[in-house]
């Protein structure tokens, strides 16, 4: 009988979620050869309800609650999430412990004929359910006709092929993790479309009273990624944002300095503001909160009602 410690890993059943979980488990296994990892799938509300826009739900955490419940009920020991799906505030008794090195944070513009966003015809139909993407892309091309889209990467790509949309937007991180190829010129630079908070990052969560598991997870933590996403999430918590209005922030750590750019907007008018900071990493969480407070005041002054 094996004396190895066993850790049960909770994941969503979707192909992307399962694939990135297995990639993360591989990292954990290499760092902890003395541990056995068992992956267990848990379906979430976000996986089951595909006929409604994400903005229609009155809450965040659609893709994480069932996984966190599994942790609290001791049905699993750790959960692996796409960080952009994790709300600012999570249940008492749980902790986000480790963040492997971040993937590409950018969005990819995919069209049926390979055209870039600048090359698309006037009034083309773009599939996206993201308020963040809508206000920024409307600023790039005011003639876009936006149409709601849901489903996994393959489902969305098939809808594009079938002609339901002229173009769609997907996260480069998900495409890369699934081995989907695309041309480099289809990537939208961060200054064209600021990524979602936490985009490209994986978060590993466990119970906060389990020091042995925490020590195992910390071996795969990437400190620059952790510092960047802590700043982004501090900004999100202060704004009190979810997926119902245009909100984005992207931080990059270079040495002891952190640079962050953020956007807050109004989906009804497509008005938005963009601000940025460059601060010491040691002070970045507090400065990110201050940036959020400042941007809320600016929105009030300019009549940008991002809570609608």
Query: Distance of CA 269 to CAs 60, 265, 275, 292, 307, Å?
Result: 23, 9, 19, 21, 12
Question: Measured between alpha carbons, how far is 45 from 48 in angstroms, rounded to an integer?
Answer: 5
Contact predicate 109/88, CB 8 Å = no
Catalytic residue (one of 36, 47, 85, 154) = 85
> Residue 141's CB: how many other CB atoms inside 10 A?
14
Q: Is 85 a catalytic residue?
A: yes
Contact predicate 78/60, CB 8 Å = no
Orientation angle between helical segments 223-239 and 284-302, nearest 10 degrees = 30
Q: Which residues are catalytic?
A: 85
């Amino acid at each position: 009988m094996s004396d190895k410690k066993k850790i049960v890993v909770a994941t969503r059943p979707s192909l992307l979620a399962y694939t990135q979980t297995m990639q993360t488990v591989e990292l954990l296994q290499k760092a902890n050869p003395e541990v056995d990892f068992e992956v267990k799938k848990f379906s979430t509300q976000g996986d089951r309800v595909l006929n409604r826009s994400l903005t229609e739900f009155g809450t965040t955490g659609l893709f994480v609650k069932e996984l966190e419940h599994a942790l609290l009920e001791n049905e699993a020991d750790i959960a692996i999430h796409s960080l952009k799906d994790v709300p600012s505030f999570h249940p008492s008794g749980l902790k986000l412990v480790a963040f492997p090195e971040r993937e590409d944070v950018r969005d990819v513009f995919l069209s049926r004929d390979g055209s870039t966003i600048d090359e698309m015809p006037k009034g083309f139909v773009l599939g996206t359910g993201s308020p963040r993407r809508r206000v920024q892309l409307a600023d790039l091309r005011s003639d876009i006709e936006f149409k709601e889209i849901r489903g996994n990467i393959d489902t969305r790509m098939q809808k594009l092929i079938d002609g339901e949309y002229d173009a769609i937007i997907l996260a480069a991180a998900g495409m890369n993790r699934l081995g989907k190829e695309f041309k480099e010129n289809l990537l939208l630079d961060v200054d064209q479309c600021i990524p979602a908070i936490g985009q490209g990052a994986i978060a590993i969560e466990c119970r906060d009273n389990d020091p042995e598991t925490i020590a195992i997870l910390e071996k795969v933590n990437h400190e620059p990624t952790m510092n960047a996403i802590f700043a982004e999430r501090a900004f999100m918590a202060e704004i009190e944002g979810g997926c119902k209005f245009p909100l984005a922030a992207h931080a990059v750590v270079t040495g002891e300095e952190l640079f962050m750019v953020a956007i807050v907007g109004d989906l009804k008018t497509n008005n938005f503001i963009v601000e940025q900071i460059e601060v010491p990493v040691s002070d970045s969480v507090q400065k990110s909160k201050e940036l959020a407070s400042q941007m809320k005041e600016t929105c009030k002054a300019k009549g940008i009602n991002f809570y609608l």
